[in-house]
């Protein structure tokens, strides 16, 4: 991380909101629901604002704030100034395995500070919390968001309340608890935790990043699309494959690519978008496959806990955008997820979490059925780090018996 700190020269202000469903305007605030129709609120940008050109962006510090005109604030950000700008890594051996022309990995598994793409959305949400003067932040999370909020809150000196399902992977619990938040383990699924947190945000007035700060939080995901475009030399790939939980990442990638096209920072057409889920929780994939507009919620049952949202808030939007982009979606089994983690590791040197296994395995399935072709340049969004979900792969890895510290024993291994 080489980002230079940006010193605020103008007070940070959050943008006003508008309802994505009925279009009514709303004041800026820690609110995610339209009081008229209960639809989701989105930030409303000033279409006449100054937008930087390529050179201006390129001269800025290497963090997601280099794209601040497309984030939901005016003035200078004050928190999480080092988030973003993860590498886009060429993966020729993975491209060969998939049978595509070129494959690149957007390596958010190495994101600062908490090794997942959630550092992007938390950077945006915690600046919103600052703008609204909220002293307490929190989240409902199956892991990565918990890590990201706890880490960022510790760095910024904020009180954090983190709500997680009781059966989370031990590494993800430890990677949250180490930052000293108020950690609340809830007996139930992630959907249960989300419901509880919606009620907590409603009653206690805290800044729950993925509930009442959701309108500001989600915009942070767009920066992955901006970085992909800039890191490719100000152009867009043919296809992007991303994991889907609530569906927000995919919708924000589409929005980000569209905004860069609108700003004429890139030319051509938006990439085809491909969504990946686990078979044990694939309501968005099934919606894409059915082709209708009614999301049918599911009871999650998969090792990919970070994607186990049976009632995805942005599922319908994600499915619509996937279809309109010319892309598709794929669901993969738990066994294929483990194979995907291994394929990524063995061909790129990157250890991704279960969501990464979903993404790689789905890309392989999409290539096998002709959705991704030999001419395609494909970006895979690897959103979380494998060190958080080692349990998922431990059963598939051969751990050798120890040897005595003698050269003869190594020779025997070579000859075996």
Partner 1 sequence: MPVLSLPSVLTPLTGGQHTIPATGTTVGEALDDVVRRFPALSPRLRDEHGAPYPFVTIYLNDEDIRFIGGFEAALQSSDELSVVPAVAGG
DSSP state of 136: E
The residue within the footprint of partner 1, chosen from 72, 218, 300, 327 (CB under 8 A), is: 218
Least CB distance to partner 1 at residue 372 (A): 24
Angle, CA of 340, 257 and 107, to the nearest 5°: 35
The reply on whether position 141 binds partner 1 by CB under 8 A is yes
How many Cα atoms within 13 Å fall on the side-chain side of residue 19?
Answer: 13
Question: Between β-strands 25-26 and 17-19, what pairing exists: parallel, antiparallel or unpaired?
Answer: antiparallel
Q: Does 194 bind partner 1 (CB under 8 A)?
A: yes
* 22: contact with partner 1 by CB under 8 A: no
Contact between 72 and 129 (Cβ < 8 Å): no
Q: How far is the CB of 383 from partner 1 (least distance, A)?
A: 11
Q: Which two tokens mark 266?
A: 């890139």
On whether the CB atoms of residues 256 and 223 are closer than 8 A, the answer is yes
Q: Is 311 in the site for partner 1 (CB under 8 A)?
A: yes
Of 103, 222, 224, 206, the residue nearest 149 (C-alpha) = 206
Interface residue with partner 1, options 144, 176, 270, 359 (CB under 8 A): 144
Scanning 45-53, 263-271, 289-297, 390-398 for contacts with partner 1 by CB under 8 A, the matching segment is 289-297
Q: Per rule CB under 8 A, is residue 124 in the interface with partner 1?
A: no
| N residues, the chain | 416
Task: Give the residue, chosen from 85, 179, 217, 260, that forms a contact with partner 1 under the rule CB under 8 A.
Answer: 217
Scanning residues 40 to 69, which ones bind partner 1 (CB under 8 A)?
40
Report the nearest approach of partner 1 to the CB of residue 64 (Å): 18
Span of 54-62, 139-147, 227-235, 323-331 interacting with partner 1 by CB under 8 A: 139-147
Query: Quick check: 149 and 162 in contact, CB under 8 A?
Result: yes
The answer to the question of residue 186 lying near partner 1 (CB under 8 A) is: no
Q: What is the CA radius of gyration of the chain?
A: 21
Report angle CA 395, 397, 403 to the nearest 5 degrees.
120
Among 134, 309, 358, 381, binds partner 1 (CB under 8 A): 309
Strand order in the sheet with 159-165: 182-186, 159-165, 136-140, 207-208
By CB under 8 A, residue 384 contacts partner 1: no
Nearer to partner 1, 214 or 371 (CB): 214
# residues near partner 1 by CB under 8 A? 50
Rank residues 29 and 87 by Cβ distance to partner 1 and give the closer one: 29
Query: Is 206 a binder of partner 1 (CB under 8 A)?
Result: no
Q: How far apart are CA 362 and CA 137, in angstroms?
A: 34
Interactions with partner 1, residue window 338-357 (CB under 8 A): none
Which residues is 182 bridged to in the sheet? 161
- Which residue from 361, 195, 184 is spatially nearest to 285, judged by alpha carbons? 361
Task: Name the helix (H) or strand (E) containing 194.
Answer: helix 190-204
Neighbouring-strand partners of residue 210: none
Sole binder of partner 1 in the list 69, 159, 202, 377 (CB under 8 A): 202
Residue 230 CB, shortest distance to partner 1, in Å, is 25
- Subset of 248-277 contacting partner 1 (CB under 8 A): 248-249
Q: Site residues (CB under 8 A) for partner 1?
A: 21, 31-35, 37-40, 118, 139-142, 144-146, 188, 190-192, 194-195, 197-199, 202-203, 210-211, 214, 217-218, 245-249, 294-297, 299, 309, 311-314, 316
């Amino acid at each position: 991380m080489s980002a230079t700190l940006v010193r605020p020269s103008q007070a940070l202000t959050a943008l006003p909101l508008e309802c994505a469903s009925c279009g009514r305007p709303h004041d800026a605030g820690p609110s995610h629901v339209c009081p008229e129709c209960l639809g989701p609120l989105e930030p409303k940008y000033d279409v006449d604002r100054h937008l930087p050109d390529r050179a201006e962006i390129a001269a800025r510090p290497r963090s997601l704030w280099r794209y601040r005109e497309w984030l939901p604030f005016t003035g200078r950000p004050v928190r999480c100034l080092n988030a973003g700008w993860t590498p886009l890594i060429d993966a020729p051996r993975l491209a060969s395995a998939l049978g595509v022309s070129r494959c690149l990995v957007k390596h958010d598994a190495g994101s600062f500070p908490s090794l997942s793409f959630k550092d992007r959305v938390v950077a945006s949400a915690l600046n919103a919390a600052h703008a609204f003067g909220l002293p307490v932040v929190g989240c409902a999370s199956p892991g990565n968001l918990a890590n990201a909020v706890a880490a960022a809150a510790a760095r910024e000196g904020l009180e954090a309340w983190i709500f997680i399902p009781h059966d989370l992977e031990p590494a993800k619990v430890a990677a949250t608890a180490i930052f000293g938040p108020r950690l609340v383990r809830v007996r139930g699924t992630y959907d249960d935790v989300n419901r509880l947190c919606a009620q907590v945000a409603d009653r206690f007035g805290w800044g729950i990043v993925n509930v009442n700060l959701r309108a500001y939080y989600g915009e942070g995901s767009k920066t992955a699309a901006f970085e992909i475009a800039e890191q490719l030399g100000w152009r867009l790939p043919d296809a992007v494959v991303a994991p889907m939980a609530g569906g927000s990442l995919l919708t924000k990638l589409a929005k980000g690519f569209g905004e860069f096209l609108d700003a004429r920072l890139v030319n051509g057409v938006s990439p085809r978008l491909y969504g990946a889920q686990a078979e044990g929780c694939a309501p968005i994939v099934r919606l894409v496959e059915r082709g209708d507009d009614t999301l049918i919620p599911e009871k999650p049952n998969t090792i990919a806990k970070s994607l186990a949202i049976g009632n995805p808030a942005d599922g319908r939007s994600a499915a619509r955008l996937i279809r309109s982009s010319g892309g598709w979606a794929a669901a993969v089994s738990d066994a294929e997820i483990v194979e995907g983690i291994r394929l990524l590791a063995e061909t790129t040197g990157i250890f991704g979490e279960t969501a990464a296994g979903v993404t790689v395995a789905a890309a392989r399935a999409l290539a096998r059925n002709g959705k991704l072709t030999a001419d395609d340049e494909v970006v895979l969004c690897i959103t979380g780090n494998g060190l958080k979900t080692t349990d998922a792969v431990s059963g598939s890895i051969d751990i050798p018996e120890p040897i005595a510290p003698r050269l003869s024993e190594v020779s025997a291994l070579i000859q075996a």
